[in-house]
Copies of this chain bind each other. A is one copy, B any other.
Amino acid sequence: MDFFFNPRGIAVIGATPGKTKGGNVILNNLITGFKGKIYPVNPRYKEIEGLTCYDSVRRVPDPADLAIVFIPASMVPQAILECVEREIPGVIIESGGFAEAGEEGIVLQETLKQIAEETGIRLWGPNCMGLVDTARRHVFSFASPTIWNENFVPGKVSLIVQSGMLSGVFLIDAMTHGTLDISKVCSIGNKADVNECDILEYLMKDPETSVIGLYLESIANGRRFMEICRKSEKPVVLLRGGKSVKGAKAAMSHTASLAGNNAVISGAMAQAGVLEASDFKQMMDICRSLAMFPPCPADSPASLRGEGREEGGRIAVLTYSGGAGIVSADFIAASGLELSELSPLTLAAMKTVFPDWMPVSNPVDLWPAVELNGAKRAYETAVSAVCADPHVDALFLHVFVGGFALKPEIDSVAKTARDAGKPMFCFLLGDREETWQFQKQAQRLGVAVFRELNRCVECMKAVFEQKKILERRKFPVSTGAGVPLPEKWTEAMKGRKGSLDEHLSKRILSACKIPVVEEKIAASVEDALSCASTFGFPVVMKGLWPGKMHKTELGLVRLGISSENAVKTNFESLKSAMPESGKVLIQKQIHGELELIVGLIRDPQFGACVMCGLGGVLAEVLEDAVFGVAPLSKVQALDMIGRLKSQKLLNGFRGAQPLDREMLAQILICVGDLGCICPQIKEIDINPLIVSKGKPTAADALVVLNG
């Protein structure tokens, strides 16, 4: 991929002298910043912008290892073939008119894909804005260069943006507002060949990139994406478009991509140690915060019990306004971070700048100290004090510039925080021009500046959560061979199609050591009575009608059978409700404190995925379900359980026994492994998985085979 980022020479196919045309802008962008050779290609001109122009890329001299294409879509395939002939390894196709543009475009894009597959040439785009590299001043794009020249401040955040316009727009907005120091912006468009995985892999190794932000409407190869993340320690922040049904519909007509199942992708991203953002500027704010304050290396496994707070994240709030301090405290509490309990030493140090009557506590309202000693001394004393306090992990500084003599000397307080190794976040209000100057200065000094309290707390949270998120990448992975499914069951599935009956489904799961309810096919009334006496009353009786899935709707599920007489009556009525081939299943009726659902699905992007969620009435209101990509290791399975919202219920409520998480994890692993070793299994549904005295048991189950 390096020829995309560091080419020696670039052919511009579609270069033109027309100043307002993209083909001219691309050329001028290269002339301005690119140090290598530039070769305009356009049969209509001999020379453009003082450079020799070639009638075909075939005639471009050495060294040319990248072509940028900006010509009508219909002419692109031919141009690419000529690039192949010229042995140019990579092409950025910035033209639109492909899969996003209806039938004809889809065919054209397919042609490009085929060329790439057959010849090995790498194609970036089409329908994209190419690549900007601020450190090298590379603008391989038709985006107008006039604005960013003076604002090219190289940074450490690289962006991968599926949407063409957004990449350029973000860059200009972020750079002129001084809100994000960018390394590279990669606009990948329709992803005919080069996709986010290719670029992510490159950026993970790029020394000029320390955090990667992505805007994606689809994930091309889910498993590869996860694998790339797992091999790196760089934070990855993802904003996905198309999470809602309406959004996904829009996504399909946009870059012609499939948004995928929201919950599956969320689960996969969590498993891969990726943080999800919800809005554009929020993503960029989180990225710049993570670039400023790298997470500590993860040296101890995170809590997997869904209990307790992250390590770190104890915040000292220094404000000029009691009110802003109070609202900050509210946001900090809501986010799961904590207000520091300041030590007596810290309080004593601060008292020196406060009036005697003033009780000092966190959040610290500096106003009386500022009145008494001026902003410089008040802020410096307070910052020094909290920086020395071992109960403080980060500083939340409120600053007002533009009146009231409130402005602190940011140089010195930033240095104090930096020396103490404590991230400093700043909530800034004030006069427009002064806030801008202050913000730029503060960011250079390593202070993350925000204009809204809530956003600031969100970014703090991201910084302190990142350690736990990255730990997930180090979880052991599984080979998926953990389930020694006896051959007879593999045999039993052969030749079958569609859904297996409840009893057969459970016998397969049971063979994989998944605990299932005691049950038996009752051949006769006598058999049923003998089972009932073995199981003890009450029992459940069900009619298994071959080929019919919806037992309840057919009236074939009878719960709470409590007498011999009822066993007899129900046996007869079930038999008579079904054809000859129907069988009666009798089960021990189990009661539990909690109902769960566990399942397996096959996702087009991520393959076999395991689901675990709350069942019963709770499922109606909570929609609490998590997904994991199979095969799962034990730690991954436990982590999945820890991602459920209803931890309170799992931990045992009102004296109930806590869930045996190890046992549930084992079930999740088994279900996933089963999906991995038996490709003929399309779906598994264990519903309900009843938790009784902490132990889960499959009370009903369904295995669906392909076909």
- A321 / chain B contacts, CB cutoff of 8 Å: 163-166, 169
Contacts of A282 in B (CB 8 A): 452, 454
CB neighbours (8 Å) of A164 from chain B are 321, 367
- Which residues on B sit within 8 Å (CB–CB) of A250? 322, 325-326, 329, 361, 363
Q: How many Å lie between the Cα of A653 and that of B324 in the bound state? A: 43
The yes or no answer to A579 lying at the interface (CB within 8 A) is no
Contact in complex: A404, B165 (CB < 8 Å): yes
Stretch of A130-138, A425-433, A490-498, A528-536 at the chain-chain interface: A425-433
- Chain A contacts with B in 241-256, Cβ cutoff 8 A: 241-247, 249-251, 253-255
Bound form: Cα–Cα A79–B103 in Å: 84
Surface stretch bound by B, among A143-151, A265-273, A461-469, A519-527 = A143-151
Q: Decide yes or no whether A332 CB sits under 8 A from chain B.
A: yes
Complexed CA–CA distance, A436 and B279 (Å):
21
Cβ–Cβ < 8 Å partners of A618 in chain B:
617-618, 621
A280 beta carbon closer than 8 Å to chain B: yes
A101-B452 in contact given A161-B323, A324-B163, A649-B620 (Cβ < 8 Å)? no
Interface membership of A365, Cβ < 8 A: yes
Cβ of A140 under 8 Å from chain B: no
Of residues 426 through 479 on chain A, the ones whose CB sits less than 8 Å from some CB of chain B are 429-433, 435-436, 451-454
A390 within 8 A of B: no
**A224 in contact (CB, < 8 A):** no
Q: Is the CB of B102 within 8 A of A333?
A: no
Contact A453 B324 (CB under 8 A): no
A227 at the interface (CB under 8 A from B): no
Nearest-neighbour CB distance to chain B for A174, whole angstroms, equals 9
Apart from A165-B321, A279-B327, A620-B648, 10 more pairs, CB < 8 Å: A143-B404, A144-B403, A144-B404, A173-B402, A176-B402, A246-B332, A247-B333, A251-B326, A254-B326, A282-B452
- Residues of B within 8 Å of A451, CB to CB, are 281
Find chain B residues with CB under 8 A from A453 CB: 279-280
- Decide if A355 is an interface residue (CB 8 Å cutoff): yes
Question: What are the 4 tightest A-B residue pairs by CB atom distance, in nearest-first order?
Answer: A163-B323, A244-B333, A254-B322, A241-B326
Q: How far is the CA of A253 from the CA of B362 in the complex (A)?
A: 10
Residue contact A217 to B355, C-beta cutoff 8 Å = no
Contact string against B for A residues 319-342, beta-carbon threshold 8 Å, 1 for contact and 0 otherwise: 011111111011111100001000
- Asked whether any CB of chain B lies closer than 8 Å to the CB of A294, the reply is no
The answer to whether A431 and B332 touch (CB under 8 A), given A323-B217, A617-B649, is: no
Bound together, the chains give a CA A330 to CA B276 distance in angstroms of 14
Say yes or no: A452 contacts B246, CB within 8 Å: no
Does A351 sit at the interface, judged by CB under 8 A? Answer: no
Which chain B positions have C-beta within 8 A of A255?
A: 322-323
- Asked if A578 lies at the interface with its beta carbon under 8 angstroms from chain B, I say no
Distance A143 CA – B177 CA, assembled complex (angstroms): 28
Residues in chain B near residue A329, CB distance under 8 A: 242, 244, 246-247, 249-250
The docked-state distance in angstroms from the alpha carbon of A321 to that of B323 is 39
Determine the distance from Cα of A100 to Cα of B173 in the docked complex, in whole angstroms: 43
* A168 is an interface residue with CB less than 8 A from chain B: yes
A105 to B279 alpha-carbon distance, docked (Å)? 46
The answer to the question of A515 belonging to the interface, with a C-beta cut-off of 8 Å to chain B, is no
CA distance A618 to B104 in the complex (A): 54
Cβ contact within 8 Å between B280 and A324: yes
What's the nearest-Cβ distance from chain B to residue A468, in Å?
A: 22
Q: Is the CB of B169 within 8 A of A400?
A: yes
Instruction: Say yes or no: A243-B330 contact (C-beta < 8 A), given A176-B402, A321-B163.
Output: yes
B102 touches A217 (CB 8 A): no
**Contacting residue for A165 out of B143, B254, B320, CB 8 A:** B320
Question: Which residues of B have CB within 8 Å of A278?
Answer: 454
Structural contact, A173 and B322, CB atoms closer than 8 A: no
Cβ contact of A429, chosen from B169, B246, B322, B361, cutoff 8 A:
B169
Of all chain B residues, which has the CB nearest A73? B357
A348 within 8 A of B: no
Tier of interface size on chain A: 35 or more
Decide if A646 is an interface residue (CB 8 Å cutoff).
Answer: yes
Cβ B144 vs Cβ A253 within 8 A = no
Report the separation of the CA atoms of residues A244 and B178 in the bound assembly, to the nearest whole angstrom. Answer: 34
User: Is A96 among interface residues, defined by CB-CB distance under 8 A?
Assistant: yes
Q: Is A410 an interface residue (CB 8 A)?
A: no
Contacts of A161 in B (CB 8 A): 323
With a cutoff of 8 Å between Cβ atoms, the chain B residues found around residue A358 in the complex are 101-102
A633 within 8 Å of B (CB atoms): no
CB of A113 closer than 8 Å to a CB of B? no
Interface string of A414-433 (1 = CB under 8 A from B): 00000000000000011111
Sampled A-B contacts (19; CB under 8 Å)? A96-B371, A97-B357, A101-B355, A102-B357, A103-B357, A143-B403, A144-B403, A147-B402, A163-B326, A165-B367, A169-B321, A241-B330, A244-B334, A245-B333, A247-B333, A254-B322, A279-B453, A279-B454, A280-B327
Question: How many angstroms between the C-alpha atoms of A618 and B164 in the bound complex?
Answer: 46
A436 contact set on B, CB distance < 8 A: 432
* Most chain B CB inside 10 Å of its own CB: which residue of A105, A325, A361: A325
- Whether B359 contacts A253 by the Cβ 8 Å rule is yes
Q: Tell me whether A654 is interfacial, beta carbon within 8 Å.
A: yes
Asked whether A645 and B621 contact (CB < 8 A) given A169-B321, A280-B327, A357-B97, the answer is: yes
- Chain B positions within 8 Å of A96 at CB level: 368, 371
**Docked CA distance A326–B176 (Å):** 25
Residue interface bits A612-640, CB-to-B below 8 A is 1, else 0: 00000110111000000000000000000
A253 proximity list for chain B (CB < 8 A): 322, 359, 361
B430 and A105: CB pair below 8 A? no
Residues 660-687 of chain A, each 1 if its beta carbon lies under 8 Å from chain B, else 0:
0000000000000000000000000000
Decide yes or no: A168 and B279 within 8 Å by CB, A254-B365, A432-B176 being known contacts: no
Taking each of A164, A250, A333, A402, which has the highest tally of chain B beta carbons within 10 Å of its own beta carbon?
A: A250
* A320 CA / B172 CA spacing, docked (Å): 15
* Chain B, Cβ-Cβ closest to A174: B429
Q: Within the assembled complex, what's the spacing in Å between the Cα atoms of A648 and B100?
A: 39
> A241-B323, A361-B253, A649-B617 given as contacts; is B452 within 8 A of A279 (CB)?
yes
